[in-house]
Structures are given as C-alpha cells and as structure tokens.
Amino acid sequence: MKVAELKQKIEPYKAAQLRRLVVEMYKAMPKSLKQGKGIDELICNPASGRKKQEAETPIDMGFLGWKWSNSWTTRTTSITSRRTP
C-alpha cells in the first residue's frame, strides 16, 4: 500500500484505533529497523519529523600511503623499504 492510500484508509479512524494501530505496527518492527530509522525519536518528538538519513562521510585514506591510478591502486612506499627493529 502506498502512503497516499494509507492516509485515505486511516482518515476516518478514531484516536483509540490509531493508538492501537501504532502499537501493533511498533511491535511488528525489528529492533534494528526501529533504531536505524529513528522510530523511537519520531515517537518521542513527532514535531521534529522524519530525518533524512545522513550520507556517509568519505574517509580520508591518504594516511595509508596509497596512490590511485587508472583502475588499480599502487602503494607509494614498498613494504621492503621499511626497517624493522
């Protein structure tokens, strides 16, 4: 069911029916989904609305000493050039 259809279906529901519906849907959700989608936060603070998932922050891999070339990665320092104690 699409969101528009859902809104149309629940329009005539009374508050008690909506409460029961929310509780049953909450119980049916896996814990990982509740945490990943911020469901608890939405329930505690409905005025905040649903937050968009943040894009992953790119990781700076420069400290590894890798240099990117066409389609292969090559190491700028050779492993044998390191001195071991």
**Encoded tokens for 50:** 């649903």
Please tell me the total number of residues recorded for the chain in this structure: 85
Rounded mean pLDDT, 6-22: 95
In whole angstroms, what is the distance from residue 26 CA to residue 22 CA? 6
Q: Binning pLDDT at 50, 70 and 90, where does residue 46 land?
A: confident
Residue 48: Cβ-neighbour burial (10 angstroms; 0-12, 13-18, 19+):
exposed
CA distance 10 to 13: 5
Q: Taking 60 as the threshold, does the pLDDT of residue 81 lie above it?
A: no
Q: What is the pTM of this model?
A: 0.53
